[in-house]
Chains A and B, each alone.
Chain A
Amino acid sequence: MFSHSELDSLFRYSLSLCHDNDEAYDLLYNNIEKLIGSNSELLQINSKMAFMKRCIRNSYLDVRRHEKIRLIKSDILKLGYEEMQREIDSLEDTIIREQEVEHLLGDLQSDERELLYLWAVEDFTAQEIAEIQGGARGTWLSRIHRIKKKLRAKTQTETSPKQGDQI
């Protein structure tokens, strides 16, 4: 059904949501198990990877939805996908040390990690990411702004001298 590389790819996607290796593996395992146990016709569908990602995302939300429900305030249809694309592409200007990535990921919320994963690793466009993540365009843009704010805070912390260093 899924090859080794596909399983690794699905695992990475799960990891972008959970940020925990064991939880990501459990999420993947449970969804494959569910898929096998369900209607066998599902195994014949063409876009298995996209379908599986949607299953993984929905079952992750099943668990987390009650932990935090975000109110959606919309300013939709005012901004085009081009503007969203510009916003996300501007992230590319950020320079970061490789060893800081893990710390940064720990500071991000799951929807922010997922967005960065889909953009950086899967190479999805803003429109494709928005279609996967759903929600209002305004919510999506504020997600990008939150990421930028956290990135700025991170880089400022790294560049500012420590108090003890000045003595």
Chain B
Amino acid sequence: MKNLREAFNAHYRQQSLSEKQLKDLMALQQHSESADVVSDEKNHRLSFTGNNIRYFLAIAASFVVISLTGLLYNINSVDAREKVALEIAYNHSKRMALEIASSNLNDVGAHLSELDFTLVDSVRTDESEWNLLGGRYCSIQGKLAAQLRIKQTTNDSYHTYYQAIIPDDFELGGSTYSTWVEGTYIELWVEGGLLLGLAGEGPTG
């Protein structure tokens, strides 16, 4: 019998990666460029000769179907992304007063207690480069969302930063989406199961 802390500690200390898993992870770190090699190999395998025209036709037909599907998908997703970007640009332009002024995300999240989600600490707004100033409620696509105000310390620029539930049928179509709306630069991405957005006078990079 042990107390809970000792028992948990002992249990987790027994858990470790297998030799193979460790080897794979070390290899992944040491040879990150191997992804290109794998990709080349795949392309090589897909090359065809004159004898397998049927394969070529099947692939060509699949390509057409995939392209059309992708086109339709893009039309829908672009529409959804633009709607969100327009709404964020509108919220940004209103320059509404903060409901809570704090540099602590937990305090801001706790104040905005009616949100149906917990604010996430995004890896893109690292404390070394961004200072949180506070936040308030806003609306994204008809649902309660958080509008935070943050300052980029590298150039002293102020941005509004949004966290919201991902709207139904919303697809980002990539790792990030960025656009200009009436002089405001908007970036959207998904992280921690939420839709995040950043609005400011220009790109943050």
Residue ranges of A at the interface with B (Cβ–Cβ < 8 Å): 1-2, 4, 7-8, 11-12, 15-16, 21, 25, 28-29, 32-33, 36-37, 45, 51, 54-55, 57-58, 61-66, 69-74, 76-77, 91-98, 100-102, 105, 116-117, 119-121, 130-131, 134-137, 139, 151
Contact = CB atoms under 8 A, between A and B. Distances in A.
A65 B2 CA distance: 34
Interface of B: 1-5, 7-13, 15-17, 21-22, 24-26, 28-29, 32, 35, 105-107, 109-111, 113, 115-123, 126, 165, 190-194
A8 B17 CA distance: 6
B25 A97 contact: no
A37 B36 CA distance: 11
A29 B28 contact: yes
B107 A77 contact: yes
A121 B12 contact: yes
Contacts of B109: 72, 134-136
B12 A69 contact: no
Contacts of B106: 130-131, 134-135
Instruction: Indicate the member of B15, B25, B122 with the most A CB atoms within 10 Å.
Output: B25
Nearest to A1: B29
A30 to B, nearest CB: 10
A12 B21 CA distance: 13
Contacts of B11: 98, 101-102, 105
B29 A98 contact: no
Contacts of A137: 110
Contacts of B35: 37
Contacts of B122: 58
Given A36-B28, A97-B1, A134-B109, 9 more contacts: A4-B26, A11-B16, A61-B120, A65-B117, A74-B113, A95-B1, A96-B4, A120-B5, A134-B121
Given A25-B21, A51-B123, A62-B191, A98 B115 contact: no
A98 B12 contact: no
Contact of A72 (B10, B13, B105, B115): B115
